[in-house]
Structure 1
């Protein structure tokens, strides 16, 4: 999978501000080798010796984290929303399971920990009470 232009710019900023390749790959959710290849081809090196910082996953700017929030990933809410809207379909949830609805028999995908049995509320009502949502 090729890096997007936004990921390339963020990786460049992280690397120039002293971040390691592994930190940049973890922040941007790309493979380390793919990022190394891009940085080597572009001739981008680490310019500062500060490898302890946090960087925004959208723009790559350095984030000043407080002592209470050391896992901050974005510099602002707008960058958080932009990142999630751009990467919504690239993230595959690992805790999903395929379930069969006991009422209609259709297969649907649900979070593993949700305990969801029915595909929708109407199926639940019909199976539980034998109606289409009203009294028999």
Structure 2
């Protein structure tokens, strides 16, 4: 491969082009392009990271995204990838509905997410309070 071809490979890989598309564009075999990319650190993982940083690839699997003009930019290619990503990154969830209470049974302070009417810190305290009040 010539220096010009190598530069074109780097440019096209950073744009997210496949090995086959690059090979046909510069006139060499697909295996030649794959070998050069592997040796130069332009494998599929490196390209996916570049595309994710730019917002052109799925945040979970790295597949190229197809954006609709005038619509909000996508982060994931499918619901499957979106749910998997959020399941692996619970720290990224911005929880706003956190409530602070004191347990009615033991008096211990506790937090509740999403339920503003909670009274007990655990099922054990709920059971104790229920047994004491019923008899």
TM-score by length of 2: 0.44
More helix by share: 2
TM-score by length of 1: 0.44
**Computing the radius of gyration over CA atoms, which structure comes out larger, 1 or 2?**
2
Q: Indicate the structure whose relative CO is greater, using CA pairs within 8 Å and at least 6 residues apart.
A: 1
